[in-house]
Amino acid sequence: MDENLILLLGQEALKTTALVASPMLIGALVIGLVISVLQAVTQINESTLTFIPKMAVVGIVIVVAAPWMIDVMSEYTTNLFENISTYVRE
């Protein structure tokens, strides 16, 4: 194994992690911004008000996007295990 292969594997792992985590993070970001704007408009300064909606949105996103996230993770893992013999030889 040389440095380029290790960097390539690390980049692929980070890309897969970002792809799997992005729907949940984007959902939490959007609902957080919406609730922050509502708090600013109504002048409600309750810091715990955003937790339940964020948890609900993340849960819904997990239920909706779980098949796609599992496909992405299984594709990465399958690719990694199929090419492990070439990775070891290099």
- Could you report the per-residue pLDDT of 13-71, keeping only the tens digit for each? 999 999 999 999 999 999 999 999 998 898 888 878 889 999 999 999 999 999 999 99
Model confidence at 87, pLDDT cuts 50, 70, 90, reads confident
The pair phi, psi for residue 43, each rounded to 5°, is 60, 40
34/42 Cα distance (integer angstroms): 12
pLDDT at 60: 96
Left if phi > 0, otherwise alpha if psi is -120 to 50, otherwise beta: which for 44? beta
3 state DSSP class of 50:
helix
Dihedral sign from CA coordinates of 68, 69, 72, 75: negative
For range 7-16, the mean pLDDT: 94
What's the pTM value of the predicted model, to 2 decimals?
0.79
Contact 81, 3 (CB under 8 A): no
Residue bearing tokens 């996103």:
61
Model confidence at 90, pLDDT cuts 50, 70, 90, reads low
